[in-house]
Structure formats: structure tokens, C-alpha cells
Amino acid sequence: MSTHIGAAPGEIAQTVLLPGDPLRAKWAAETFLDAPRCINEVRGMFDFTGKWRGHEVTIQGSGMGMPSLSIYVNELIRDYDARTLIRVGSCGAMQADIVVRDVILAVTASSVGNPSRAMLREIHYAPHADYGLLRAAHDAAMRRGTAVHVGGIYSSDTFYDERPDLHDQMVRHGILAVEMEAAELYTLAARHGRRALAVLTVSDHLVTGEDLPAMERERSFGDMVEIALEAAFA
């Protein structure tokens, strides 16, 4: 057990998929894993381990925002030795050529701040995906015929943003989409020598105003889960 994860040593796989939503973790495990078993219910942040094509996989909710993800990823790495960590999340599109349900592979994750910022001090570190995972995820998306975009995203500290000027600068600098966790995931993975990637599905569009309901955000994102699994074991 770690402070926030109730799983016993050995119950968490070296490959961990991380949706923000714990109910998406449950849905994904029950949909894609063989013999999934729930190994953590602390704070309702479900954690399931099962097999995908014979490989052990854990799917663990990370919560919303970087402070929450940071707690889970630190413990997954330090206490359970997770080696490959792939976020499977929803995001809001920021560019006109992207549509709802498209998949985004985040090469980099910009942010205004993240939990690692205090220790990095004056360094404007560039959090980035593992290239091998990124390439394998892109290959998987191509094989599946998924509409996929590859580029930089923005990890925000706020869902309800009061800074339209910030949004405008992100769009202007080619940022594809906004979500709330990848920058800290990439930074922690780099610090501990682990592989990380964020595979995101567009749930809403900040330019067109298109929006998916909560149930679809929980259950309709199968493509990104399978892309993440194929990338992890390529």
C-alpha cells in the first residue's frame, strides 16, 4: 500500500493507463482487459489490473488536475515501480481543423505552472512525450483509421478559464487542445526515467462550442484506450 493507493505490492502492472475519471478506468478495464480485478478503492479512485493480449495492465484514475495526478504518479513510480504511464483523457480542441471525437497525441505539454515548477525554479522545462510511445501510438492510429493530430497541448490549472488572452496566445502558437494533467505526467516520467504519453479524445471544441455529455466522456473513448494499449506493447 502507498498513502493513496490501497493495492498490495505486485498488484499494479508496470504498464499503467491513467484516465482522469475513475469511472472511465472501470469502464475501460471491464471493456478491454481480460479478468479485470479492482485492486484499489481508496477515495473512489478505482484501480483495475487485468490482461490485454496476455500483457499485465493497470488502469488507474488520476483525478482532475496536476496536483491530483502528481500524487498518483509519484506513488505508482516510487511504491509500485510503474514503468510506462499513458494518460487517456478528454480535452478541448483549440484549432479549427480538429473535430469532436478526434484523437490527439501530445508531443509536448505547455503550462502556466505545474507541481514540479517549484523545484525547477528558473528553468522553463519543456515536458515531452516518450518518442517510442508516441511513434507507436501514431502507427496504431493509422492502422485503425482514427482521425489523429500530433502536436503540442496545454495543461491548464483551470477548467473555467478567466483569461481569454491566454487562450488566444495558445491558439496563435499552434496548441492543439487543452486538458489538465499531461505536463506534470511528462515531467515526473522524465525525472524518474519512465516512459509517458498522453492520448486524448476531443470532448468539446473551444472554437465551435461543440460538447459531449458526461456519459459519452466516460464510455465512448474506446479508440484512444486501444491506441494506448497498442503503443504500450508495440
What does the binding site for ligand R1P look like in residue numbers (CB under 6 A)? 19-21, 64, 89-90, 159, 179-181, 217
Q: Is 204 a catalytic residue?
A: yes
Q: For residue 217, what are the CA distances in angstroms to 88, 111, 146, 151?
A: 11, 23, 17, 22
Query: Catalytic pick from 21, 204, 211, 223?
Result: 204
Q: What one-letter code names the amino acid at 149? A: H
Q: Least distance to ligand URA from the beta carbon of 219, Å?
A: 16
Return the residues of window 156-195 that contact ligand URA according to CB under 6 A.
Answer: 156, 159, 178-180
Other beta carbons within 10 Å of 41: 12
Between 47 and 179, CB nearer to ligand URA: 179
Q: Residue 39: enclosing H or E segment and its boundaries?
A: strand 34-40
The amino acid occupying position 8 is A
Q: How far is the CB of 64 from ligand URA (least distance, A)?
A: 8
Residues 6+ apart with CB under 8 A from 72: 4, 5, 18, 45, 60, 61, 62, 63
Considering only 203, 221, 226, 230, the residue that binds ligand URA (CB under 6 A) is: 203
**Residue closer to ligand URA, measured from CB, 77 or 202:** 202
Contact 69, 185 (CB under 8 A): yes
Q: Report the catalytic residues.
A: 204
Footprint of ligand URA (CB under 6 A): 90-92, 156, 159, 178-180, 203-204, 206
List binding-site positions for phosphate. Answer: 20, 24, 43, 87-90
